[in-house]
Structure formats: structure tokens, C-alpha cells
Amino acid sequence: MFRSRKAAALISVVALVASACGSSTASPTPGGGGATPAPTPAATPAGTPAPCAVGVSWNNYQEERWAKWDEPAIKAALTKAGATYLSNDAKSSADTQLSNVDALINQGAKVVIILAQDGTAIKPAVAKALSNGIPVIAYDRLIEDPGAFYITFDNVLVGKMQAEAVLKAKPAGNFVIIKGNKADANADFLRAGMVQAGVPDVGKTDPAGKIVIVGETYTDNWDPANAQNEMAQFLTKQNNKVDAVISENDGMAGGVIAALKSQGMAGTVPVSGQDGDLAALNRIALGTQTVDVWKDARMLGDAAGQAAVQLCAGTGLDKITTDKYGASSPFKSPGGNSLNSILLKPQAITKDNLQVVLDAKWIDKATLCKDVTAGAVAGC
């Protein structure tokens, strides 16, 4: 009787182990929206927790920086901690992103990192995740939910740096402001930073009369083509009497500069950007873009990966800490919410300090200096 029970128990254990070892995970390919089978994980020793699965919902994986910088940094941080990575791509659709977050939860994500297409539209998905005990990281873009952990660069400071550089090049005149997507809180954070630098607020005038805002608009999806059309319209309206442009990111700056080029004005009108896009850094060297506020996305991805692993282990939002980027601190949102957050510091890149991005291996010399006259700027 004793030997029979012992044998039965042994058979049950073997069956359980075989079942566990036969399982697998799937990691959707962001650019394609499908699923790529991941290797079958090794059996987990008895008494140890299963690896943490972290899901990432990208708003638009086609934008250069996400695949090139952010995603590899997130993956590296997760791999280092023994966690697994899942992802999908909303392709600029707020509705798709709602279902994408559901899909990540259904795949077994224990933490969800969301780069929100629309910070308001995504809130039901965030609430659902939190109600199921799944922590949410609002990545790079604010989600107005105090239950989310917010990781980004200091975007008010980014806007201030953009305006400071443009004002240094052109302290007075007719200014155009090309803002990002209206549904993205970052567009307004950046605009608030411009005010700190001395640019009149929306609907306000400069008491000194030095800066006149002759055009200001939000840009759907931060789309470069939309920005080019907007800039072309402002140039037509002003009969080309535009002295400076504060563009909120590099992609849109490219569109703005294309519109200026069509009028023979590229390189004579200061233009700002942000993100460290390789084409934008080349434009800095060429002299068609004035400043690129560099947010080293490798830092942001690393910080988010570290935070996700800690949240997966049950660490409280106010107890998150990173080995390079500081610890959780309160952030008061425009909506009056208090979120636990980590804000990273950006760096303004101009023609005078291009060596910084070269030294950081963010860009190689050939790419930075393409079509640039040798010796025209430091680094080239």
C-alpha cells in the first residue's frame, strides 16, 4: 500500500514537471502586430517564483527612437533581472491600444508599460489592469491616474531648453510654435517650459513687444508631414515674415525645415527639436536646425525596466529606486493627481557640443557629418 501511494505521488510530480516544461510564451512583434514564439523557458526550481513577464504597449513603433533605443534598453534591463518581454503596437490608434493592453494581460503580463497614444482614452485599460492587481508604468507620456507609475524626462525643462536656444539665436521677431499631439500632455508640458524661458504663453503677448507669436498649433500624432503643411500655411499667411520656429520634436522639425527650404529660408530661421533623431543631429551640424534637446532613451528604457522588475516583485510605487536615475518622488499632474514618478534630465545639443553625442556613441561621425563641410563645426 505504501509503495503504491509513493509511486502514484511520483507519477503526479513527473506529470506536473512535464506540463511546466512543455509551456511556452509568445512575444508579439511590434512592427507587425503578430506573435513570434519565444524559446521554451527552462524549468523553474521548486520554491522559486516564475519569471516576471512585462508587457509593453507601444503607441507607434514606426517612430525611429522606440525600436532603436527604448525597446533594446527595456529588454536589456528585463533580461538582466531574469524577466521576460511581451509587446504590441497600436500604430497610432487609441482604440487599438485599448485592446492591445487587454491582449498583454491575457498573455500573462504581470506589469504593463504603456506609451500612451492618448492619455485620456487609455484610462479604462489602465483601470482594468490595476483592478486585476497588475501595476502600470506610464512611459514617457503622462496618464492621469494616481495608480500609475510615471517615468519620463523632465519635459517642462525640455521646452525651456528649446526656447532658450532659439531665443539665443533670435531674441526678437515673429515666432511660430509647432506643438505635438493635443491628446499628449507632453505637448503642454513643453509649452509651459517655453514660457519659463520668456516666450509668451498661449493667447498672451510679450509685454516688451519683442516676441510676436504669428502662428501656433497642435499637430496630430506629432506627424512630420502635418508639421510641414502647418508651417507652409503659416509662411503663406505671413508672406514668409517668420523669424524663428519652436518645434516640439525632431520629426516635426524635419517637416518645418522642409517647408522653410521650399522658400529658400532653411538655415536662416532658427528651429528647435528634441529626441536626438540621427537626421536631426545631422541638421544641427549642417546648420538648418538650431537645437536638439537630447533625451537619451537608453536611460529611460533602463529605468522603466528596473522599475517594472521591482513592481513585479511587489515593491510599492513610492519605494521604487534605480541604480542611476534616482528614486520615486511625487509628481503633481495638471489634472490635480499625485503620481509617483522618476523624471530624468535632458541635455541640449547645439553645434557647439556635438561631441557629446559622438562620445556617447549615440551617432557615428559619418552619419553626423554627412554633407557637412569639414571643420565647419566641432566633431566634423
Quick one: pLDDT at residue 50?
59
Q: Do 211 and 359 share a structural domain?
A: yes
> How many CB atoms neighbour CB 127 within 10 A?
14
Whole-number Å distance between alpha carbons of 199 and 377: 28
222-254 pLDDT, tens digit per residue, is: 999 999 999 999 999 999 999 999 999 999 999
First-residue to last-residue Cα distance in the chain = 84
Q: Is 1 inside any structural domain?
A: no
Q: Is 2 inside any structural domain?
A: no
Q: Is 42 inside any structural domain?
A: no
Quick one: pLDDT at residue 18?
34
The amino acid occupying position 173 is G
148-173 pLDDT, tens digit per residue, is: 999 999 999 999 999 999 999 999 99
Domain with 145 in it: 28-34+50-154+297-344
> Which cell numbers hold the place of 325?
536615475
Domains contained in the chain, number: 2
213 secondary structure, DSSP code: E
* pTM of this structure: 0.80
Quick one: pLDDT at residue 51?
80
Residue numbers of the chain with a pLDDT score lower than 70: 1-50
Burial 278-317 (b: 16+ CB within 10 A, else e): bbbbbbbbbebbbbbbbbbbbbbbbbbbbbbbbbbeeeeb
Closest CA to 170 of 268, 80, 69, 84: 268
> Which cell numbers hold the place of 219?
499637430
Q: Is 13 inside any structural domain?
A: no
Whole-number Å distance between alpha carbons of 300 and 189: 18
Q: Do 286 and 311 share a structural domain?
A: no
Closest CA to 144 of 164, 174, 160, 121: 121
